[in-house]
Structure 1
Amino acid sequence: MVPVLRRLGGLSMDSDPHGGSARIPAGVPTSAAELADRLAELARLANRWSEAVSELREPTRRWGGVAAAASVALAARRAEEAFLELEVTLGDVRAARRSLPSAAPRGEDDRPMV
Structure 2
Amino acid sequence: MQIASIEEINQFLENAKSLIRKGKYDFIPRKKNLDGLALLGITQKLAKSELLELTYRQYDRGPIPDIDRLSDIVWEFIKEIDTNLAYIKIKIDQRGCVCLSFHPSSGPTSLPYKDR
TM (norm. structure 1) is 0.27
Q: Which has the larger radius of gyration?
A: 1
Give the number of the structure with larger relative contact order, counting CA–CA contacts within 8 Å between residues 6 or more apart: 2
Structure with the largest fraction of helix: 1
Structure with the largest fraction of strand: 2
